[in-house]
Amino acid sequence: MRILIVAATEIEVAPLVGGFQIATSRSAAGGGGRLEAYTCAGHDVDVLISGVGMVATASWCADAVARTPYDMGLNLGLCGSFDRALQPDRVVHVVSDCFAELGAEDGDRFLTIQDLGLVGSDEFPFENGRLVNGRPPRNGVLTGLPTAHGITVNTVHGNEPSISAAIERFKPQIESMEGAAFMYVCLDRALPFAQVRAVSNMVERRNRAAWRLETAIGAAHTARAILEDA
């Protein structure tokens, strides 16, 4: 199986990639130096460090998927949690996501692109205004993870009014800066995929001291198990 792993930064996958073997018999096509070829658990695994944010993620993911026929895509990273049941260190399978800031302001109201009539609520690849992973890869490890609904943002939430507004509008459990972009590309290219994230912090006023970046290690163990079960 040939698998594409996508992460925004090296730190988010370093504990995982450290256990991979460099593929000496092949190279990863394209990627502008961001794509490296490895082997793991009998699979050919290409690791793409896309850079932070949805624009970079969409661009480099689309380039990689256009060049190589992958069997599975796996987006790994950290996330903030709105859900008190999903505390730091939890690893979740994000099964739906959306572009939370894509729309228009109308006084105190926020209108999504679906509200504006620019895109239909069920116009491909959206389902009821969201990107939904209705058919993730058949994998026992994925099945055992708690599922979560996410939002993808350019600006992570850090004050109570904006947090409350996001919860009211989208009822998210987690947020990231890349997830929906990865999902959009995979849905568009009919690539089986999963977005797997470790909660590093609760969504609250910016409190860097409370962030748990070491949760990337826990996510790495989960990702390794997913690969071994693929």
What residues form DSSP beta bridges with 96?
132, 149
In this prediction, residue 218 carries a pLDDT of 74
Domain ranges of the chain: 2-229
Distance CA 191, CA 98 (A): 18
CATH superfamily of 2-229: Nucleoside phosphorylase domain (3.40.50.1580)
Distance CA 168, CA 161 (A): 11
Q: Which ranges of the chain have pLDDT less than 50? A: none
Q: Are 191 and 72 in contact (CB under 8 A)?
A: yes
Tens of pLDDT, residue by residue over 64-85, are 999 999 999 999 999 999 999 9
